[in-house]
Amino acid sequence: MKKVYLITRGCHDSYEITHIFKSKKKAEDFYAMCDYPDLNEIEEFELSDYDMPEPIEYIECEYAIMNMLNEKEKAYYASNQFKYHIKKTNSNDYDVDDLYDTRLHNGILELKRPIVDKSRTQEQFINDCIAICEEIEEQINFHLNRNTDVETIEHLFKTGRINYGESIRRNN
């Protein structure tokens, strides 16, 4: 295994790595001339060979529920009802389950889903998100048509009483 040599100083909360060297000789030379206060002994550290997992790709969507918006908001979202971004996690410590999220706030449905099936195209994932959003919008419109107020609809959504697949179950 490969090794690196750390020049550190301090302890506990004030511990810090000041320099890292691939060569023990270079670390020793630097250590000999270094005048940092609180300098520790040179630390030898073995690097692991395991492969780093790939960052997870995911899609983030925003979908405007038009019947929940005021006239000004409707005009703004009329040509831009669905927006999405394909992103990658910036860390390898994400669990795929952390990338599933659905929120409703002020008439905007926010959806996040991991792209785990590499055999499917980006367009298929986008279409899946649109289908989920339209399904939820259909349920929200059902409640709006029954004169349910927006706060109650958001509460129904948060408590899972409005969710993807509900009208599919209702129609079967």
pLDDT tens-place string over residues 21-72:
999 999 999 999 988 788 899 999 888 776 666 778 889 999 999 999 999 9
Residue-level pLDDT at 46: 87
Strand-by-strand arrangement of the 82-88 sheet: 82-88, 57-64, 108-114, 101-105
Is residue 42 domain-shared with residue 94, that is, in the same domain?
A: no
Residue-level pLDDT at 136: 92
Residue-level pLDDT at 93: 61
Residue in the structure block whose two tokens are 């939820």? 136
Report if residue 96 sits inside a domain. yes
Per the structure, the complete domain to which residue 37 belongs is given by: 3-46
Is residue 41 domain-shared with residue 83, that is, in the same domain?
A: no
Q: How does pLDDT run across 104-147, given as a tens digit for each residue? A: 988 999 998 888 888 988 899 899 999 999 999 999 999 999 99
In degrees rounded to 5, what are phi and psi of residue 97? -65, -25
Our count of domains for the chain comes to 2
Asked if the model's pLDDT at residue 168 lies above 80, the reply is no
Is residue 64 domain-shared with residue 148, that is, in the same domain?
A: yes
Is residue 42 domain-shared with residue 74, that is, in the same domain?
A: no
Please give the average per-residue pLDDT across 4-12, as a whole number. Answer: 90
Q: Over pLDDT 70: what percentage of the chain?
A: 89
**Could you tell me how many helices (H) and strands (E) the chain has, helices first?**
5, 7
Q: Is the pTM of this model over 0.75?
A: no
Residue-level pLDDT at 170: 41
